Amino acid sequence: MDVSVATGVLGAPKPSGGGWPVGVRKQPGLEELDGLLGRGYNYIMIDSPSDEHFMREALRQAQKAYAAGEVPIGAVVVRAGRIIARAYNQVELLKDATAHAEMLALTHAEAAVGDWRLTDCHLYVTKEPCPMCAGALVHVRMQRVIFGCADARAGAAGSVINLLQLPSLNHQCDITSGVLQNECSAILQDFFRKRRDQQNGAPAKSTIRKPENLS
């Protein structure tokens, strides 16, 4: 298990011989762990991976869409700190207007869970969900929705309408926005810039840089 940030401590004092407990690897920059262990604890509660970590996984999916000539939006579904579904836009590939990254990710997640209810799952998507996807997220009882860049024209998680938290519906999702916003926006801007250049007969030139940690 990778050690990220120590958020709490449980357990009994460590043996007098000292040393790091089994299963905890010391990493640079985690001085707080030294302090905790120094006070005699042998079990460290570690944070699960961050929102940025999972959004980078969604960006990897968006890169796949970009390479396939699809609008570069990617999504992942996380349950108990583990990715259970990955997907990217495949509207052109499948000739299906509903084949958005979120919709495909939900289908994969339902298969992984064995139920249509995803009440303990989080969805990470690089762009704010549209009304269709927002409606599906409410239907599957998604616990939390995290997106990168907003969609000022059709966003249904607060930009134009907030279907995810509509009081009249039987479920509302928690929302976190703006995670890796610049990276998520950049890949979309580059895609549509390239498309405009092709339509105008200009040589297509990509200006996008591969986001850090997406190797």
**pTM of structure:** 0.73
In tens, the pLDDT along 155-195 reads 999 999 999 999 999 999 999 999 999 999 999 999 999 98
**57 is known as an active-site residue:** no
Q: Which of 22-26, 31-35, 66-70, 194-198 has the lowest mean pLDDT?
A: 22-26
Instruction: Categorize the per-residue pLDDT at 205 as very low, low, confident or very high, splitting at 50, 70 and 90.
Output: low
Res 89 pLDDT > 80: yes
Can you tell me the distance from the alpha carbon of 185 to that of 66, in angstroms, rounded to the nearest whole number?
Answer: 13
Res 107 pLDDT > 90: yes
Instruction: Categorize the per-residue pLDDT at 207 as very low, low, confident or very high, splitting at 50, 70 and 90.
Output: low
H/E stretch holding 195? helix 181-199
Would the CA dihedral through 46, 47, 48, 54 be positive or negative?
A: negative
Q: Which of 3-17, 122-136, 138-152, 193-207 has the lowest mean pLDDT?
A: 3-17
Catalytic one of 52, 70, 102, 183: 102
Can you tell me the distance from the alpha carbon of 117 to that of 153, in angstroms, rounded to the nearest whole number?
Answer: 29
Q: Do residues 40 and 13 lie in contact, with contact meaning Cβ atoms separated by under 8 Å? A: yes
Res 67 pLDDT > 80: yes
> What does pLDDT average to over the chain?
81
- How confident is the model at residue 198, as a pLDDT? 81
Instruction: Categorize the per-residue pLDDT at 126 as very low, low, confident or very high, splitting at 50, 70 and 90.
Output: very high
Average pLDDT over residues 84-110: 98
pLDDT over 70 percentage in the chain:
71
Contacts 24+ apart (CB under 8 A), 198-204: none
Cα→Cα distances 45→11, 78, 162, Å = 10, 20, 35
Strand 82-88 with 74-79, pairing:
antiparallel
Average pLDDT over residues 107-131: 98
| Residue 205: φ, ψ to 5° | -135, 120
